């Protein structure tokens, strides 16, 4: 089973302070999906270039980058350290360059059914993610810029590596230093697994107050060294995952970062590492989900991610889970693409043998 892990951004902000938030962790029992609806958790008012790295499937070497899918300055995780969006030169309301805002679109999301499948209806959008005009360059993802996934490449992450995947990055508009809270690997995963990803923090300036908010992003595609910027997900219907929150009723929005809504940008080496959008970017297609305090499975069809200025289509660059709250605490696990019916339990191969526990 091939892991869609791309190493995350290289350190460009040595002064970034790591503050691991305390919270509920990942312990808990599996729960059933909850029915409910809510406003969209994701705002598109902030920028930052996409995180980048090497794809394990493409065989390319680690490359540098910054940002978190155009949501704001971000911190990366794993052995490559952390980043902020200040090195990318891409538009950002929370980063160094100001830049344009895509606006925030409102959408509703409901969860139902034994598998936790999620549907959404669009409440309209404000701000369109503009593609380059006909006289401009083609999409960065055309031709060899995209890698087509096979039906066997559904697995995304289960947090069972020896440390959290460097494909993850996080952003949070907290003062005096942005992005001090990161998603962390934590014990007690969903579906009787050993670990999950836990993202918690306090004091963020939310988008409704003019900030760039809170989110955690997983890079599934962008690899400037290999000149790959998208994955083709034609073999799949959507994304499934398990989640829970410290406070029942908390909302998160799953955002699909696509080239039409992701801003053009370059990494520290001058290589493209963003999308096609040139104005009013970051209004990504998304669906909002209301979480329970216990683990529950959720699934989001690509066609149901209606709260953005462009549809998902067949090309994806990153996945992002955004919270609308100033104080946030939620956990994720068992993330995969799916076709037809989502997997009912664990999606990954399980824990790895690591140094210190009898492994290599």
Sheet of strand 315-316, all strands in order from the earlier edge strand to the far edge: 146-148, 230-232, 315-316
142-162 pLDDT tens trace: 999 999 999 999 999 999 999
How many of the other CB atoms lie within 10 Å of CB of 165? 24
Cβ-contact 40, 111 below 8 angstroms: no
CA angle centred on 182, ends 253 and 308, rounded to 5°: 25
Residue 341 or residue 8, greater confidence: 341
| Rounded (5°) CA angle 109-326-295 | 50
Find the mean pLDDT for residues 124-141.
50
Specify the pLDDT at position 357: 53
> 26 with 192: CB under 8 angstroms?
no
CA end-to-end span of the chain, whole Å? 21
Of residues 114, 81, 122, 127, the one with CA closest to residue 263: 127
Q: What is the mean pLDDT of the chain?
A: 72
Q: Which of 48-62, 184-198, 244-258 has the lowest mean pLDDT?
A: 48-62
Which tokens go with 327? 């104080």
What average pLDDT does this structure show over 231-235? 97
Assign residue 140 a region: left if phi > 0, alpha if psi is -120 to 50, beta otherwise? Answer: alpha
Burial track 116-136 (b if 16+ CB lie within 10 A, e otherwise): bbbbbebeebebbbbbeeeee
DSSP 305: -
**Is the CB of residue 221 less than 8 Å from the CB of residue 231?**
yes
By three-state DSSP, how is residue 198 classified? strand
- Here the tokens at position 199 are 């993202």
Provide the percentage of residues in the chain whose pLDDT is more than 70: 60
Query: Read out DSSP for 10-49?
Result: PP--TTPPP-PPPS-TT---B------------------P
Q: How would residue 175 be classed by pLDDT, with cut points 50, 70 and 90?
A: very high
276 vs 63, which has greater pLDDT?
276
| Per-residue confidence band for 96, with pLDDT thresholds at 50, 70 and 90 | very low
CA distance 73 to 67: 5
Most confident of 5-14, 29-38, 340-349: 340-349
Determine the pLDDT at residue 62. Answer: 32
What is the rounded CA–CA span in Å between residue 185 and residue 32? Answer: 23
CA distance 322 to 207: 11
Average pLDDT rounded to a whole number, residues 309-323: 96
β-bridge mates for residue 166, sequence order: none
Give residue 25's pLDDT: 58
Higher pLDDT, 29 or 139: 139
When pLDDT is cut at 50, 70 and 90, the band that residue 232 belongs to is very high
Q: From 67, 344, 306, 319, select the one nearest 179 (Cα to Cα).
A: 67
Helix extents (H) in 108-234: none
Give the model's pLDDT for residue 71.
Answer: 59
Q: Are 72 and 99 in contact (CB under 8 A)?
A: no
pLDDT at position 356: 59
Q: Using CA atoms, how far apart are residues 214 and 344, in angstroms rounded to an integer?
A: 29
* Cβ atoms of 84 and 73 closer than 8 Å: yes
270 vs 348, residue with greater confidence: 270
Structure confidence by residue, pLDDT tens digits, 101-127 = 333 333 333 333 333 444 333 333 333
- pLDDT given at position 239: 98
- Average pLDDT on 260-265 reads 94
Q: Coil, strand, or helix at residue 235?
A: coil
Residue 50's nearest CA partner among 239, 303, 228 is 228
Cα gap 98→163, rounded to integer Å: 34
Model's pTM, two decimal places?
0.70
Report, as an integer, the average pLDDT of 134-143. Answer: 73
**12 vs 140, residue with greater confidence:** 140
Looking at CATH, the fold of the domain delimited by 75-338 is given as: Jelly Rolls (2.60.120)
Dihedral, 55, 76, 275, 60 alpha carbons, nearest 10: -20
Question: Comparing 29-43, 124-138, 269-283, which segment has the lowest mean pLDDT?
Answer: 29-43
Residue 38's alpha-carbon distances to 128, 226, 257, 290, 293, in angstroms, are 22, 40, 21, 7, 16
Q: Check residue 104 and give its pLDDT.
A: 36
Phi, psi of 250 (to 5 degrees): -65, 150
Q: How many residues in total does the chain contain?
A: 360
- What is the rounded average pLDDT of the residues 254-274? 95
């Amino acid at each position: 089973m091939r892991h869609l892990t791309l190493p995350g951004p290289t350190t460009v902000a040595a002064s970034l302070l790591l503050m691991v938030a305390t919270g509920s962790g990942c312990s808990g029992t599996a729960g059933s999906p909850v029915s409910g609806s809510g406003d969209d958790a994701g705002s598109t008012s902030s920028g930052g270039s996409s995180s980048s790295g090497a794809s394990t499937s493409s065989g390319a070497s680690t490359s540098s980058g910054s940002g978190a899918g155009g949501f704001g300055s971000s911190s990366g995780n794993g052995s490559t350290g952390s980043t902020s969006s200040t090195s990318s030169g891409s538009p950002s309301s929370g980063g160094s360059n100001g830049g344009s805002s895509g606006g925030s679109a409102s959408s509703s999301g409901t969860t139902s059914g034994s598998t936790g499948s999620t549907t959404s209806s669009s409440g309209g959008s404000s701000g369109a993610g503009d593609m380059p005009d006909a006289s401009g360059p083609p999409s960065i993802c055309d031709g060899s810029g995209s890698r087509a996934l096979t039906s066997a490449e559904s697995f995304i992450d289960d947090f069972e590596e020896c440390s959290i995947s460097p494909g993850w990055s996080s952003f949070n508009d907290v003062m005096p230093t942005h992005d001090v809270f990161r998603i962390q690997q934590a014990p007690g995963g969903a579906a009787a697994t050993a670990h999950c990803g836990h993202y918690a923090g306090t004091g963020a300036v939310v988008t409704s107050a003019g900030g760039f908010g809170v989110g955690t992003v997983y890079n599934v595609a962008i690899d400037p060294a290999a000149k790959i910027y998208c994955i083709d997900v034609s073999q799949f219907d959507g994304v499934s995952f398990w989640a829970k929150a410290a406070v029942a009723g908390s909302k998160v929005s799953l955002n699909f970062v696509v080239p039409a809504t992701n801003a053009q940008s370059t990494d520290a080496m001058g290589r493209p590492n963003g999308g096609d959008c040139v104005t009013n970017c970051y209004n990504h297609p998304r669906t909002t989900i209301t979480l329970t305090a216990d683990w529950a499975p959720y699934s989001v069809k690509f066609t149901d991610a209606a709260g953005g200025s462009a549809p998902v289509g067949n090309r994806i660059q990153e996945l992002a889970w955004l919270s609308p709250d100033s104080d946030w605490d939620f956990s994720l696990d068992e993330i995969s693409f799916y076709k037809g019916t989502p997997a009912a339990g664990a999606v990954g191969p399980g824990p790895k043998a690591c140094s210190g526990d009898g492994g290599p």
